[in-house]
Amino acid sequence: MRNVSARTKRRVYLRYGIRRHHSGQYEIDHLIPLELGGSNSIKNLFPEAARLRPGFHQKDRLENRLHAEVCDGTMGLRSASHQIAVNWLRAYRREFG
């Protein structure tokens, strides 16, 4: 279950050196999404920019695709979580071009 408190989000921003930001500029995201075995640990959280492409909207799309592949048996959970943790941009480009 996604449960990241405002306090934890502030800690994540500070951990990445972000002292100020505008609403909607970032999303505190899970490196390994919950549906692929990730956790709400601060070690699995990072501020993801909205305007970069690919950004958090595209990462969400990748997470949904990998989750579907795990559920339909075309990919193992370990492989999906590894791909997204090691280099989600490469995984995104492989899946969507």
pLDDT in tens, 67-91: 999 999 999 999 999 999 999 999 9
pLDDT(95) > 80 = yes
pLDDT(49) > 80 = yes
Single out the residue of 5, 61, 53 nearest to residue 28, CA to CA.
5
**3-state SS assignment for residue 40:** coil
Q: What is the mean pLDDT of residues 61-66?
A: 94
Query: Which residues are CB-neighbours of 81 under 8 A, at least 6 positions away?
Result: 32, 36, 37, 38
Tell me the pTM. 0.80
Cβ count near 39 (within 10 Å): 12
Beta-bridge partners for 28:
47
